[in-house]
Amino acid sequence: MNSQDTLQLLMGAGAGVGALWLVAFLFRAMTVSVDDRQVALVTVFGKFTRKLSRPGLHVVPGKLFPWVKVRHVSKARDFRSYKGIHVNDSRGTTMLVDLWVELHLVDSVKAQFAVTDWDKALQSVVAHAAISILGKSDFQQVLQDRQELGERLRADIAREAERWGLSIDSAFIQQIELLPEVANELSNTIAARLERATAEIEATGRLEVAQLEADTSREVATLVAEARAQYPLAIGAALEKLKQSPEVLEAYLELYELSQLRPGRTVAFRGFEGKQALRSADAAMLQVMPVDQAPLIDGSKR
């Protein structure tokens, strides 16, 4: 092989490599790869002409020209977080609300060509919906009904976002804050309400205790009155029973008469019978002797 053959061989190899490169370049320039989570929009001079939604490779010969563009638009679920939205509630309290919105594209053509920038437009719609819906409730209601209010926000935002090919999957209130001066004023108001509620509870408790004591005293007085009413009946029944023993009844009556003279202090003397008879008046003047020195009946000492 001479030098001329070698040169021709090299030129042929270079031409083959160039042809392969050109084919690869043209193939890449004329095809569009579409993922299963996105669509491709073809525009000519900025005007939409074709949508490629089937996953795989698509041949677009016009892509060789600079005025033909291909936009890839994601269909995956996305989210937006809007922080620090100023909302005045029904009482004029300023709240700082953070909203979380989940969405996805259902019509990529509208999302790209029906609105200049749907992201900024959605931000305005979310702020307007928050002011409109949350402004009708007070701060406490917003805290208590966050789930319900979030659903109302989602429905209101979805009606506007549908015009741009967006689907709002969910929207909820992520966080609610108050301005520092408003938070201090609210804390003072809550503290005053707690003190007033505590005083009311204590006053109610005292009234209930007094009422309970009055009811108890009335019930006790009723029971005591009933018991006193039963006392004469019991005495009468006992006397009727004592009548069966006249001697016992007479002794009881005599003791009762003596007890009425000076209850607990009266001592009665009857004296003694027989030769050593002693009148009661004489016996009352005798001094009491110790038991060990008292004389026996026959006159002797113990």
Residue 99 has pLDDT above 80, yes or no: yes
pLDDT at 273: 56
The fraction of the chain above a pLDDT of 90, given in percent, is 12
SS3 content of the chain, % helix, strand, coil (to 5): 55, 20, 25
Give the Cα separation of 43 and 32 in Å (integer). Answer: 13
CB within 8 Å of 10: residues ≥ 6 apart = none
Give the Cα separation of 267 and 264 in Å (integer). Answer: 9
Give the Cα separation of 156 and 164 in Å (integer). Answer: 14
Apex CA 252: angle with CA 249 and CA 253, to 5°?
85
* Torsion angles phi and psi, residue 9, rounded to 5: -65, -40
C-alpha closest to that of 30 among 72, 65, 71, 67: 65
Give the Cα separation of 27 and 117 in Å (integer). Answer: 33
Give the Cα separation of 155 and 159 in Å (integer). Answer: 6
Residue 287 has pLDDT above 60, yes or no: no
β-partners of residue 59 are: 31
Is residue 247 left, alpha or beta, with left meaning phi > 0 and alpha meaning psi from -120 to 50? alpha
Q: In the numeric block, which tokens belong to residue 220?
A: 């006790």
Q: Are 100 and 174 in contact (CB under 8 A)?
A: yes
CB atoms within 10 A of CB 255: 11
Q: Full-prediction pTM beyond 0.75? A: no
- Banded model confidence at residue 300, pLDDT cuts 50, 70, 90: very low
**Domain range annotation of the chain:** 17-74, 78-178
Q: Which segments of 91-219 are extended strands (E)?
A: 94-105, 166-178
Residue that the structure tokens 């490169």 belong to: 21
C-alpha closest to that of 136 among 195, 107, 95: 95
- Banded model confidence at residue 156, pLDDT cuts 50, 70, 90: very high
User: For domain 78-178, is the CATH number 3.30.479.30?
Assistant: yes
* Whole-number average pLDDT of the chain: 78
Give the Cα separation of 160 and 167 in Å (integer). Answer: 10
Q: In the numeric block, which tokens belong to residue 218?
A: 């009335």
- Banded model confidence at residue 89, pLDDT cuts 50, 70, 90: confident
Average pLDDT of the residues in 248-277 = 63
pLDDT at 212: 92
pLDDT at 274: 55
Residue 94 has pLDDT above 60, yes or no: yes
Give the Cα separation of 273 and 279 in Å (integer). Answer: 9
Residue 249 has pLDDT above 50, yes or no: yes
Average pLDDT of the residues in 223-229 = 83
Residue 36 has pLDDT above 50, yes or no: yes
